[in-house]
Structure 1
Amino acid sequence: FAIWFMDCGSRSFKRKNGQIHALELFLNTGFSQAENELILAYFAQVWGVHWGLSRDRQQYRLRLGTKAGHAFFGWLRPYLHPSMQSKINPSYNTTATTYGRLSQGFEPAGNDSRVKE
């Protein structure tokens, strides 16, 4: 399941006064509505996780809200590869991280970043 999330999962944090007040966790499946409903039933029966189902354009995806999303992250964290922590860690912000690297002497070089010496 962790591999599936690392490949097709995403999250969205909503902040208010600098604090996270809402979390949405998505898992893209690429399956039909009926197939997704089977997946929902499996997670509810076997794991006690009650995903919602949403539709984004022509694709369905599984969705968790704030409370269930935090619990899910706690369960998932030990199984994620270190390079995938940004998928669940709210402190990873692409813009801030990119700016921080550049201000610390990191400079993009093609597809690679190297430390200035």
Structure 2
Amino acid sequence: MDVCKSTVIHEGNVRKAKELMPDEEVLYDMAEFFKVFGDTTRIKIISALFESEMCVCDLSAALNMTQSAISHQLRVLKQANLVKFRRDGKVVYYTLSDDHVKDIFNQGLVHIQER
């Protein structure tokens, strides 16, 4: 077990870490943002939307889930600004909000696959 015999060993490192640490509110928002990626269904929806926009019916068929379950998770993804939508008559089509979503997804995938 590591035990520090001093309160601060590398004062410069501690000072730099404190200076560079984002504000508490930003860290909270970031933690909330990453929680959205903590659900397999939401990850599947993001993956399905990589290449093209899809409606709830198509997502439901692609993921073999109920439309209700898909709609619920899309609501969470919209609130986190990870997906956007457009209406065409009675049909609503969903897409990823921007390329950042793909980047975040791909970085996570690369990290997992490195194991």
**TM-score (ref. length: structure 1):** 0.29
Higher share of residues assigned helix = 2
Higher share of residues assigned strand = 1
**TM-score (ref. length: structure 2):** 0.30
